Amino acid sequence: MLESLQKMHPQAECELTFETPYQLLVAVILSAQCTDKRVNQVTKVLFAKCGTPESILALSQEGLEAEIKSCGFYHNKAKNILAATEIILREYGGVVPKDRELLEKLPGVGRKTANVVYAVAFGGNAIAVDTHVFRLSHRLGLSEADTPFGVEKDLMARFQEKDWSHLHHLLIHHGRYLCKAQSPKCGECLLTKVCAYYQDNNKESKRSK
């Protein structure tokens, strides 16, 4: 499965644009229920003006909201970013902590966000379960768990730890570009022989004939 995913998505990696772990943290918080493309458009302007914790914190709530408004849910996102930034400056000297448990204690940072920052910014082994990873894990028969954490545990049990982070990016790219929620491009997929979703739908189509 990993080999097939790699063949289909050889360039799979984080598509958020950032230069520092702090910028990645902000970008991931903004990406909740928003596309990476939109986030990159927003952060390109934001980080050019305010790319450090100090400069972000210097913005007012209203000022940050104005910068990130097009990402949606901008009030809560701005509130969380400012609160997390204050803690990073006060408790960690302006440096984003590498420890996932410490990351999860920051406002607006759940397990998925912590896993992304831990894996992408610090090279850790982690599987961040977003909507794409959750959907594909069920379609491919990799998990039947009904929570992101349950899916994460199932994936960690099935794949070697050294592959976790790359698997996360491969599944995201596959879900984003081929195995879409609506009208998945099964004809272009190399996983149909092992895909529970494809096999089930083929059985139904054969029965209908």
Tens digit of each residue's pLDDT (9 = 90 or more) over 151-202: 999 999 999 999 999 999 999 999 999 999 999 999 999 999 999 899 888 8
Instruction: Give the amino acid at 190.
Output: L
Contact 203, 146 (CB under 8 A): no
Q: Give phi and psi for 195, each to the nearest 5.
A: -90, 115
From the candidates 77, 130, 200, 203, which is the catalytic residue? 130
From the candidates 79, 112, 153, 185, which is the catalytic residue? 112
Contact 3, 167 (CB under 8 A): no
Total residue length of the chain: 209
For the record, the structure tokens of 114 come out as 């912590």
Residue ranges of domains in the chain, CATH in brackets: 2-8+128-208 (1.10.1670.10), 21-121 (1.10.340.30)
Give the three-class secondary structure for 146.
Answer: coil
Q: Count CB neighbours of 125 within 10 A.
A: 17
130 is catalytic: yes
Whose structure tokens read 């794409």?
132
Q: What is the pLDDT of residues 70-116, one digit of tens each?
A: 999 999 999 999 999 999 999 999 999 999 999 999 999 999 999 99
For the record, the structure tokens of 157 come out as 């049990």
pLDDT for 12 beyond 60: yes
pLDDT for 128 beyond 60: yes
Q: What does the alpha-carbon distance between residue 135 and residue 143 come to, in Å, rounded to a whole number? A: 10
Q: What is the pLDDT of residues 19-35, one digit of tens each?
A: 999 999 999 999 999 99
Q: What does the alpha-carbon distance between residue 6 and residue 190 come to, in Å, rounded to a whole number? A: 10
112 is catalytic: yes
Q: What does the alpha-carbon distance between residue 174 and residue 133 come to, in Å, rounded to a whole number? A: 9
